């Protein structure tokens, strides 16, 4: 691409079954950025080899920031061949001293409104030259003037030497102290330099200690042809910073190692070329798997060395080369050693089975596809069987999840992570170097890694995709095997992959086959709807044959109203399709039924082809149902008339009558099971409840189908443990969203779950448990966390049998040394008492619990560690019931037992009070209530009650569902004991209802340039920034974890985008933007979670919307909620959006 000429770009779109994707909206956006010239993506560039000579040089100004506004080409419609043409104007390039590149992203809207993207990148050449600088220790600064092909030019340049002064200042953001620095430059001296086209010029500058910047510029265009390099000097030694320089501090230089090829046969000579930034002795260690095989010595001369090896087939699964070099100039050298790492593999041909697959180019759906496979019989061994397995997957899915598929032979013999720790201890033993022992990262993550991809989970899609996996099939004596696949109704492309193996060889082959029916028919409807939505359903018909067709199409629907184009046709339309012709049929529809929860669309095709197409879409109500829950204690011989539901239309009312628990264990299980977010605390709570489920079902006679069968629960449990392992930090602890500093309380929570899973033989990752226990052991030896977290850590370690008895004693004695009025019944004292008992310290446990019982339950309602008073009461009761059982096993009847029973009685009162005051359960509440229900003693004595005059017997609990139109119910307790009555109402509030309890929000909409946008009227493909400002009105002295939920109308999508750099100054809210700890863009909503530090009252969150589908679209209210005090929330009605 030339800087002074427009770029002609062609976008080609095709359906996967082979036909061009015509008549679809296409668009291109593009931007200019600095080019990473040495990236491998430019290898095909004709000047690539020339530019490689300048790797390690600073090209252009080192601190140059290139901001290019995202530009958009004129929207197009794909033509009959699926093509669209774009002319991109790149005449207004940024004023840059570095090479530039164009990045263009093309998008085509498929009929559902989703966008399919393709990216194009290319270097931009210019007539002006570039300047490059290189600095090495004790050598003159080198200067080169280069043309666009990377070749030296002659010219005159001006150089300037600046002293850099740095001022630091601290500030607080998101609850953490951070710092920034300001740099000022002072010109010290300057001069001119003549450059030749034969070799780089040199500048020999005498520089004192401190920070410096050297700037060189060409006289004819000093703002565009310039380069700069920062230098640092100190401690009597020279430190140089910049590309290819030695760096600073005690970090070693790097040895570059190259081989004449990546893989070798047995007995073949391996020639290695090594390059170091100095001369001196070196050693190369040969390592395979986890041990050193050999050590070779060599000497660098003029920075070069060669090593030859004879390949041994024992190394075929991989050989690591670990190089160390020592600078012979130890007196004056900036850096005195260098290290290098390189991997080699064995030739794969002795292990390769050459397999062929013969597939047709096309086939038809609802047929059997036979896959013939062949291996030359000379490769078959007489004494072993050769097998093959075949996988087939929708090509669309394959492209989305390509990293999950691999050649088994290349995977088995791939570069593996080095299992040796490679330590650089030189800096720790040599004087004058402020060194430290540094473990160097190596293995598949090394810079020379060939990009091996970790397996990724397949994307979650709402489509029925074609997947197939065969059983192992044996090749016959002639080397033939056949696999048959029964294809469903499917039009697209099928990727067929086969892997063959025997005891010593592997082979793989893959091909694609187009699957298309004579009539390809596709019905496009929204994935979901809301009451009041209006849009079109679209039917695409494509005759893929060489003969004309007559087709009758009848469209029907339930749950929505369809507008017919011709009432006399009663929904049926007849069309004539020429050979290879495709057409679109459309129908207007509207969601009018407020009581329907699902729309059902059906197209019946008759005539020359017969087919039935069906699609469904869930219908969301105008406002999402709110759960309102009240608890009443109905004393003996008393009556209760249930109040009429308030705050909206009653959707459903559930009544739980219980003589044991003042809450519904089934309800708390179900609530946490469907909780939609995925932080560490919620993942753990879900999995833990899954572990408790069998016991709760047994105790309370719940339906066995809750949570699925035993195999489903076990699979879910182990999958969850994998999720947790992926979120474990390097120190063994856990943070809320899997990144950030580990949190002691949360790590103890995960640790207790893992211990319980181990006890039930359901732990799939012992290493994860051992690592978190190690982290907790470290925590209790420090004073870095809260009393609650320390107590919880002691409890978990005691439960694990860790030898930390002394630390537990000291912690309990510290508690007892406090003001006695502060030792109350709390989670901290309960955890500490239980830990002491498990360590055998019964006397100290008795003293601590007795003091807590005397003071009673604390009146501290403050939120801490993801929970409030309800969670604290339920967790403390769970611990004490566990302690009660332990004391019964020990057959102890002493003060400790008596105080345990007293503590349990005392804690029930605040638990019942909290239950009666809360309509919502946090995830912590839901877990600990479930845990409490699984451990407390059972009471199945029957209680007689009357509901609307009808006698009921309650043994444990009785659940009754009342219809929305039932008259107010009356409940009478005719027994001599109290019963608990929990009324759960599901109420659909008015669509325009506003709730601002503890939080409030304002929402603005702007375009890319910061101009206001009227969100209620958009055009297709219009991009809009949504800016939510959230203000906290309650408990600003405490921290909080909140979640923002923005439901989308079915015509809107959320995009990943960055704010235009040029418009930041026009956005007054920009400086108050807060980075979410977690965010997720789902089909139907945008989610973002935030941590609010104490005293943090407000912040701004921005995300981008795209108008994807024409129509009038409604959505449920958007909201913000305190995740662990869910009664604090703000709810606002969503705007109705019309997209044209």
Q: Taking the CB of residue 501, how many other CB atoms lie within 10 A of it?
A: 19
Closest CA to 925 of 700, 666, 672: 672
For residue 239, name the pLDDT band (cuts at 50, 70, 90). Answer: very low
Closest CA to 1005 of 984, 1028, 980, 983: 1028
pLDDT at 419: 62
Closest CA to 534 of 1065, 75, 1136, 1027: 1136
Name the domain count of the chain: 8
Q: Is residue 248, in this structure, part of any structural domain at all?
A: no
pLDDT at 1111: 96
| CATH code of 872's domain | 1.50.10.20
902 Cβ neighbours under 8 A, 6+ residues apart: 853
| CATH code of 535's domain | 2.60.40.10
Indicate whether 920 and 853 sit together in one domain. Answer: yes
| CATH code of 995's domain | 2.60.40.690
Q: Is residue 343, in this structure, part of any structural domain at all?
A: yes
pLDDT at 102: 93
pLDDT at 441: 22
Q: Is residue 103, in this structure, part of any structural domain at all?
A: yes
Indicate whether 703 and 715 sit together in one domain. Answer: yes
User: Are 313 and 346 within 8 A, CB to CB?
Assistant: yes
* Residue 237, pLDDT above cutoff 60: no
Indicate whether 718 and 672 sit together in one domain. Answer: yes
pLDDT, average across residues 413-432: 54
Higher pLDDT, residue 234 or 836: 836
| CATH code of 113's domain | 2.60.40
Could you tell me where the DSSP H helices lie in 760-841? 766-780, 787-799, 805-816, 827-838
CA–CA distance, 816 with 708 (Å, rounded to integer): 47
Q: Is residue 2, in this structure, part of any structural domain at all?
A: no
User: Are 1133 and 992 within 8 A, CB to CB?
Assistant: yes
CA–CA distance, 186 with 215 (Å, rounded to integer): 12
Residue 75, both tokens: 């929207």
For residue 704, name the pLDDT band (cuts at 50, 70, 90). Answer: low
For residue 211, name the pLDDT band (cuts at 50, 70, 90). Answer: confident
pLDDT, average across residues 926-942: 88
pLDDT at 538: 93
| CATH code of 261's domain | 2.60.40.1930
pLDDT, average across residues 406-428: 66
pLDDT at 462: 42
Indicate whether 276 and 302 sit together in one domain. Answer: yes
Indicate whether 598 and 649 sit together in one domain. Answer: no
Q: What is the 3-state secondary structure (H, E, C) of 881-904?
A: HHHHHHHHHHCCCCHHHHHHHHHH
| CATH code of 968's domain | 2.60.120.10
Determine whether 1039 is exposed, middle or buried from the number of CB atoms within 10 Å of its CB (0-12, 13-18, 19+): middle
* Residue 248, pLDDT above cutoff 80: no
For the chain, the average pLDDT equals 85
Q: Taking the CB of residue 235, how many other CB atoms lie within 10 A of it?
A: 11
Indicate whether 428 and 286 sit together in one domain. Answer: yes
Determine whether 411 is exposed, middle or buried from the number of CB atoms within 10 Å of its CB (0-12, 13-18, 19+): exposed
Indicate whether 47 and 110 sit together in one domain. Answer: yes
Among candidate residues 124, 139, 154, the one where a domain is terminated = 124
Supply angle C-alpha 980, 984, 989, rounded to 5. 155
Q: Residue holding tokens 């955890």? A: 831
Indicate whether 733 and 814 sit together in one domain. Answer: yes
pLDDT at 449: 28
Among candidate residues 987, 1005, 1024, the one where a domain is terminated = 987
pLDDT, average across residues 993-1013: 92
Which of 670-679, 859-868, 991-1000 is predicted most confidently? 991-1000
Higher pLDDT, residue 443 or 924: 924
- φ, ψ for residue 808 (rounded to 5)? -65, -40
Q: What is the DSSP string of 987-1009?
A: EE--TT--EEEBEEEEEEEE-TT
pLDDT at 241: 46
The residues with which 944 forms a beta bridge, in sequence order, are 953
User: Are 171 and 178 within 8 A, CB to CB?
Assistant: yes
Indicate whether 502 and 526 sit together in one domain. Answer: no
pLDDT, average across residues 6-29: 94
pLDDT tens-digit readout, 1040-1074: 889 999 999 999 999 888 777 666 777 888 888 99
Residue 917, both tokens: 């005051």
Q: What is the DSSP string of 37-104?
A: TTSGGGTTSTTHHHHHTTTTSEES-TT-------EEPPPEE--TTSEEEEEE---S----SS-EEEEE
Q: Is residue 247, in this structure, part of any structural domain at all?
A: no
Q: Is residue 786, in this structure, part of any structural domain at all?
A: yes
pLDDT at 421: 58
Indicate whether 772 and 840 sit together in one domain. Answer: yes
The residues with which 919 forms a beta bridge, in sequence order, are none
* Residue 385, pLDDT above cutoff 80: yes
pLDDT at 967: 61
Higher pLDDT, residue 163 or 446: 163
Among candidate residues 70, 98, 124, the one where a domain is terminated = 124
CA–CA distance, 160 with 153 (Å, rounded to integer): 21
For residue 197, name the pLDDT band (cuts at 50, 70, 90). Answer: very high
| CATH code of 384's domain | 2.60.40.730
pLDDT tens-digit readout, 556-608: 999 999 987 655 555 789 999 999 999 999 999 999 988 788 899 999 999 99
pLDDT at 309: 94
Q: Is residue 754, in this structure, part of any structural domain at all?
A: yes
CA–CA distance, 113 with 109 (Å, rounded to integer): 6
Q: Is residue 849, in this structure, part of any structural domain at all?
A: yes
Indicate whether 1123 and 1042 sit together in one domain. Answer: yes
pLDDT, average across residues 260-280: 92
Q: What is the DSSP string of 205-241?
A: ----SEEEEEEEEESS-TTTSEEEEEEEEETTEEEE-
Q: Residue holding tokens 């080192």? A: 62
pLDDT at 333: 52
The residue range of the domain holding 686 is 661-938
Q: State the virtual CA torsion across 951, 952, 953, 958 in degrees, nearest 10.
A: -170
pLDDT, average across residues 515-537: 93
Task: Give the percent of the chain with pLDDT over 90.
Answer: 52
Task: Give the percent of the chain with pLDDT over 70.
Answer: 90
Indicate whether 816 and 717 sit together in one domain. Answer: yes
* Residue 169, pLDDT above cutoff 80: no
pLDDT, average across residues 810-836: 90
Task: Compute CA 125 distance to the chain's CA centroid, rounded to the nearest angstrom.
Answer: 38
């Amino acid at each position: 691409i030339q800087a002074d000429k427009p770029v002609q770009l062609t976008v080609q779109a095709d359906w996967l079954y082979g036909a061009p994707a015509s008549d679809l909206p296409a668009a291109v956006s593009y931007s200019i950025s600095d080019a990473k010239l040495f990236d491998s993506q430019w290898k095909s560039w004709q000047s690539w080899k020339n530019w490689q000579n300048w790797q390690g040089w600073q090209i252009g100004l080192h601190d140059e920031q290139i901001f290019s506004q995202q530009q958009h080409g004129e929207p197009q419609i794909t033509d009959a061949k699926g093509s669209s043409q774009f002319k991109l104007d790149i005449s207004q390039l940024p004023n840059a001293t570095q090479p530039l590149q164009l990045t263009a992203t093309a998008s085509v809207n498929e009929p559902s409104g989703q966008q399919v993207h393709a990216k194009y990148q290319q270097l931009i050449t210019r007539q002006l030259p570039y300047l490059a600088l290189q600095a090495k220790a004790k050598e003159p600064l080198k200067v080169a003037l280069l043309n666009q092909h990377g070749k030296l030019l002659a010219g005159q340049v001006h150089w300037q030497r600046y002293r850099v002064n740095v001022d630091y200042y601290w500030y607080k953001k998101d609850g953490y102290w951070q710092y920034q620095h300001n740099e000022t430059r002072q010109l010290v001296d300057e001069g001119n330099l003549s450059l030749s086209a034969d070799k780089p010029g040199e500048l020999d500058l005498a520089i004192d200690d401190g920070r410096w910047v050297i700037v060189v510029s060409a006289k004819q265009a000093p703002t565009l042809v310039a380069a700069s390099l920062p230098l640092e000097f100190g401690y009597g030694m020279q430190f140089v910073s910049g590309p290819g320089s030695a760096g600073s501090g005690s970090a070693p230089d790097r040895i570059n190692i190259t081989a004449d090829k990546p893989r070798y046969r047995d007995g073949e000579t391996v020639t290695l070329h090594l390059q170091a930034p100095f001369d001196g002795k070196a050693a190369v260690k040969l390592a395979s798997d986890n041990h050193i095989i050999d050590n070779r010595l060599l000497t660098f001369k003029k920075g070069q060395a060669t090593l030859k090896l004879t390949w041994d087939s024992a190394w075929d699964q991989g050989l690591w080369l670990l190089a160390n070099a020592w600078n012979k100039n130890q007196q004056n050298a900036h850096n005195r050693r260098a290290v290098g790492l390189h991997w080699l593999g064995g030739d794969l041909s002795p292990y390769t089975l050459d397999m062929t697959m013969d597939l047709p180019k096309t086939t038809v759906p609802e047929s059997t596809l036979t896959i013939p496979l062949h291996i030359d019989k000379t490769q078959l061994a007489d004494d072993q069987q050769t097998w093959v397995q075949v996988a087939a997957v929708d090509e669309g899915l394959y492209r989305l999840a390509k990293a999950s598929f691999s050649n088994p032979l290349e995977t088995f013999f791939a570069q593996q992570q080095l299992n040796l720790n490679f330590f650089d201890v030189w800096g720790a033993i040599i004087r004058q170097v402020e060194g430290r022992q540094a473990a160097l990262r190596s293995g598949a993550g090394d810079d020379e890694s060939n990009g091996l991809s970790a397996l990724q989970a397949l994307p979650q899609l709402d489509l029925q995709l074609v997947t197939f996996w065969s059983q192992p099939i044996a090749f016959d004596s002639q080397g033939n095997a056949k696999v048959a696949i029964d294809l469903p109704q499917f039009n697209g492309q099928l990727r067929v992959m086969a892997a063959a193996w025997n005891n010593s060889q592997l082979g793989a082959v893959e091909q694609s086959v187009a699957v298309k029916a004579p009539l390809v028919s596709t019905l496009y409807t929204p994935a979901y709807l809301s009451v009041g939505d209006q849009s079109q359903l679209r039917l695409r018909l494509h005759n893929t044959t060489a003969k004309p067709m007559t087709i009758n199409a009848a469209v029907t629907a339930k749950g929505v109203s369809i507008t017919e184009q011709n009432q006399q046709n009663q929904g049926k339309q007849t069309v004539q399709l020429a050979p290879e012709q495709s057409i679109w049929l459309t129908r207007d529809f509207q969601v009018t039924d407020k009581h329907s929860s699902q729309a059902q669309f059906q197209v019946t095709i008759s005539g020359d082809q017969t087919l039935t197409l069906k699609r469904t879409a869930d219908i969301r109500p105008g406002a999402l149902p709110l759960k309102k829950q009240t608890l009443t204690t109905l004393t003996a011989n008393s009556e209760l008339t249930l109040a009429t539901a308030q705050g909206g239309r009653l959707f459903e009312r559930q009544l739980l009558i219980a003589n044991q628990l003042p809450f519904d264990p089934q309800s708390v299980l179900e609530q946490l099971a469907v909780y939609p977010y995925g932080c560490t605390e919620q993942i753990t709570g879900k999995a833990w409840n899954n572990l408790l489920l069998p016991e709760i079902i047994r105790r309370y006679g719940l339906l066995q189908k809750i949570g699925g069968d035993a195999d489903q629960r076990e699979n879910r449990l182990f999958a969850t443990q994998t999720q947790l392992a992926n979120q474990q930090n390097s120190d063994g602890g856990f943070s809320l969203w899997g990144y950030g500093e580990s949190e002691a309380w949360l790590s103890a929570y995960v640790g207790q779950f893992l211990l319980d899973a181990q006890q039930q033989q359901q732990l799939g990752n012992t290493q994860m448990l051992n690592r978190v226990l190690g982290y907790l052991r470290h925590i209790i030896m420090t004073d870095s966390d809260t009393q609650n977290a320390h107590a919880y850590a002691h409890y978990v370690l005691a439960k694990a049998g860790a030898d930390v008895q002394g630390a537990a004693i000291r912690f309990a004695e510290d508690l007892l040394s406090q003001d006695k009025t502060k030792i109350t019944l709390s989670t901290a004292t309960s955890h500490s008492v239980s830990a002491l008992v498990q360590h055998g310290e019964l006397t100290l446990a008795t003293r601590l619990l007795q003091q807590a019982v005397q003071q009673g339950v604390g009146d501290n309602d403050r939120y801490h560690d993801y929970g409030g008073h309800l969670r604290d009461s339920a967790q403390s009761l769970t611990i004490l019931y566990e302690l009660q059982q332990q004391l019964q096993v020990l057959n102890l009847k002493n003060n400790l037992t008596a105080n345990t029973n007293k503590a349990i009685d005392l804690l029930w009162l605040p638990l019942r009070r909290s239950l009666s005051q809360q309509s919502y359960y946090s995830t912590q509440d839901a877990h600990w209530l479930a845990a409490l229900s699984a451990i407390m003693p059972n009471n199945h004595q029957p209680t007689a009650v009357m509901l609307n005059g009808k006698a009921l017997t309650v043994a444990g609990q009785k659940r009754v569902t009342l219809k929305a139109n039932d008259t107010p119910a009356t409940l009478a307790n005719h027994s001599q004991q109290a019963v608990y009555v929990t009324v759960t109402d599901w109420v659909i509030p008015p669509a325009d209802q506003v709730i601002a309890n503890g939080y409030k929000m304002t929402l603005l909409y702007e375009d890319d340039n910061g101009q206001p946008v009227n969100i209620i009227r958009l055009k297709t493909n219009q991009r809009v920034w949504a800016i939510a400002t959230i203000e906290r009105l309650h408990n600003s002295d405490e921290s909080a974890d909140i979640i923002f939920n923005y439901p989308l109308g079915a015509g809107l999508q959320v995009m990943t985008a960055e704010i235009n750099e040029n418009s930041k100054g026009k956005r007054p809210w920009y400086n108050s933007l807060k980075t979410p700890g977690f965010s997720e863009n789902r089909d139907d909503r945008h989610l973002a979670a935030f941590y609010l530090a104490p005293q943090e009252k407000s912040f701004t969150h921005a995300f981008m919307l795209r108008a994807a589908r024409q129509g009038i679209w409604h959505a449920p209210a958007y909201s913000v909620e305190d995740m662990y005090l869910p009664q604090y929330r703000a709810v606002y009605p969503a705007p109705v959006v019309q997209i044209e």
